[in-house]
Amino acid sequence: MIIGYGVIALFFGVVVIVLERMRRSDGGLSEYAVAGRAFGPGYQTMSFLNTWLPGAVFTTFTGLAVSEGVIGFYWVPYSLLTIVLMFFMAERVHHWGRTWELISQADLLGMRYASHTVQTVGALVGIISSFPWIVLGMQSLGLVFSHLSFGRVSDSTAVLIGVGVLAIRQVWTVRLGMRGIVVSDMVQSIVAYFLGLCLIIGMLMWLGTHGHGLSQVSATHFTLPGPGSALGPLYLMSLVLTGALGGWCWPDIFVRLFTARSAATIKKSAVQAAPFLMVFATALALLGLLASSMPEVAAKPSAMWFIVAGAGGTLLIALAGVAVLAATMGNVDANLQAIGIQLSHDVRLRRRERMASGETASAKLAVVALTVLAALVASGSLHSGPSLNELAILSYQGVVQLAPTLLLGIFWRRGNAVGAVTGMVSGILIAGVLQVQYPLSVPWLGGLTSGVAALIVNTVIYVAAAYLVPRSTAERARVDALFEGIDDHQRTPSPAPVPADYPSDWTTSRQW
């Protein structure tokens, strides 16, 4: 236990030292939220990985491969599709972000549709969907501190310890904002994924040489849901589609596009991240598949990472725990920062001018409040709430309802605020109702998940409104100016015209 907790303390100390050596500047809300848009491809790649791959990939996601087999590989293709989407989104999103000084995902939605309502609704959907992931991260750390105590700490106490560690970590998140998160992502990614990949390769070699090869895996683990199955033939497609489209709907992932130095930086980051992510994710899922032949792993799928690491002794278990901690810290920090910004900046009952210093203080207070609330929920729902896997699936069904408004809004000129708001609200309500009745898939829809079924309705409403709701000449000119500024890379566009009937109080501090 001293070795296990000692290694955790050492790693935590290194992260704190790195953060304390940073040069801090008081640059207002923009510096706090997007770190001056100053980071190069190396930092961007590591920051993306540390946000995209939470500690749950070592436990919950791999546990699915243990219990269900090859369907547990589903997050490999959707992760790669998300990176492809990042490549094509880079130019437009980064250009708009820098030109209009955008600091959040909802901020971009408000600018694209010139609508305070779209901005607020989009922020609320992102916040509601992201919060379970914070709880998921805190509960995942319970496994770390439970296994590193070697039986001396109960599961409930381990969760409390994990919550406490993450709560202490938020001191630097609150103080340093996004710059601190991106810099710490570099350290955490090296430990979580590069050290983690070395551990995965070692564990795969051990399994292969100790009678746990593919031939020992149950034949049922090599089947996918098809016609006549309980889940339905469209279930796997729904999982991949939800993950691929929902990837950039997460507020904490999306804001990474604003912290980059340029659009070219984002594209380089995508090129760097794709091959590593494919190797890492495939190897980790394969590890879960092979380990499923171990009786102790089959009995506790989510504990596979620590059970297999146990073959290498105390130090290997400790290193495995540090990898999960490093991944969890990056994901939870990013989530808290992103939804804290959206709470303070984007969720408003009325329009008001932006006050950078006041909003920075509000964002920090929001992070503190969210940390306390998530800690209470994580501790209280340990034995009575949904499983970790159910939390992850539930979150995706909600956040993917941002996809039509966000993705079509970025690539298509015709979308409008009416379709955006109506589609998002309809989608989140339908997804919620279906999720309660059909937690896994909707049988009478061929196995579509609740999120995809709602997404179809959401998209139809958005497209229908784009053609049925008339646009004023001024609004059409405003949107055309936004898109034409992207098409010409050689000139810096002048601010897009604002409709004559648009409230003047919003243009006081925002050019658009």
Token reading at 469: 């709701």
How many Å from the N-terminal Cα to the C-terminal Cα in the chain? Answer: 57
pLDDT score, position 384: 54
pLDDT score, position 22: 73
pLDDT score, position 491: 46
Out of 96-110, 173-187, 335-349, 497-511, give the one with best mean pLDDT.
Answer: 96-110
Alpha-carbon distance 385 to 504, whole Å? Answer: 47
Chain position carrying tokens 């034949």: 219
Encoded amino acid at 356, one letter: A
Whether 471 shows a pLDDT value over 60: the answer reads yes
pLDDT score, position 341: 85
pLDDT score, position 424: 96
Whether 493 shows a pLDDT value over 50: the answer reads no
Secondary structure class of 39 (helix, strand, coil): strand
Q: Is 350 exposed, middle or buried (0-12, 13-18, 19+ CB in 10 A)?
A: exposed
Average pLDDT over residues 221-228: 91
pLDDT score, position 279: 97
- Poorest-pLDDT segment among 54-63, 139-148, 411-420: 139-148
Out of 65-79, 168-182, 476-490, give the one with best mean pLDDT.
Answer: 65-79
Q: Cα 353 to the chain's mean position, in Å?
A: 29
pLDDT score, position 390: 65
Whether 503 shows a pLDDT value over 50: the answer reads no
Confidence of residue 242 (pLDDT cuts 50, 70, 90): very high
The CATH code belonging to domain 2-18+35-383 is 1.20.1730.10
Whether 181 shows a pLDDT value over 90: the answer reads no
pLDDT score, position 418: 96
Whether 212 shows a pLDDT value over 50: the answer reads yes
| Mean pLDDT (the chain, rounded) | 85
Encode pLDDT of 294-323 as tens digits: 999 999 998 999 999 999 999 999 999 999
Whether 29 shows a pLDDT value over 80: the answer reads no
pLDDT score, position 249: 92
Whether 122 shows a pLDDT value over 90: the answer reads yes
Secondary structure class of 260 (helix, strand, coil): strand
| CA angle, 6 then 10 then 12, to 5° | 115
For the entire predicted model, the pTM comes to 0.86
Alpha-carbon distance 185 to 360, whole Å? Answer: 22
Average pLDDT over residues 136-157: 83
